[in-house]
Amino acid sequence: MQDKSLETRYNKLIIAVSIIIPVFVAILFGVKLKDLGYDVAPLTFLPPIYATTNGITAILLVAAVIAIKNGKRKLHQSLMTGAIALSLAFLVMYVAYHMTSDSTKFGGEGLIKYVYFFILFTHIILSIAIIPMVLFTYVRALAQNFESHKKIARITFPIWLYVAITGVIVYLMISPYYVY
């Protein structure tokens, strides 16, 4: 049975979280623990791990769509919950890396540089936009408002998949320039 009150209760929280997360990440992105006097080793091992996390997220998203198309609602729910958990793990690792390590500059030149920055820019913008979309989609499923869930999921899925895949692409393109 649909629970509209659940959706209503979570709408303001989703909006708040969707604003707080990008602002928090932007602030922490500029904070270097060494500049604050903390003696921490750079977490240079994290980029391939969080890129892999993005890749697994993409696989889970595709598997979840296949599951729901085959009527496997519980499997779909588990896969989507896993994708959300991996996205959250990515975010934590990404922030931890950037708080302990200097940003890596892309060293490519010519056309590839423009391709890289286009992919990076669209990845960043859509990774911010996807936060409320994922949360609204998930809450609509929890509230058993499946018609509304399906409508927004048709938009959320390709954008989230793009963000996950381009996260891997960005890593692969910049990885030759990492200093370990």
The 10 Å Cβ neighbour count of residue 143 is: 20
DSSP single-letter state for residue 105:
P
Domain limits of the chain?
A: 4-21+32-177
- The alpha carbon of residue 123 and the mean position of all alpha carbons in its chain are separated, in whole angstroms, by 9
pTM attached to this predicted model? 0.91
How far apart, in whole angstroms, are the C-alpha atoms of residue 158 and residue 138?
15
Query: For the segment 118-172, what is each residue's pLDDT rounded down to a tens digit?
Result: 999 999 999 999 999 999 999 999 999 999 999 999 999 999 999 999 999 999 9
Give the CATH number of domain 4-21+32-177. Answer: 1.20.120.80
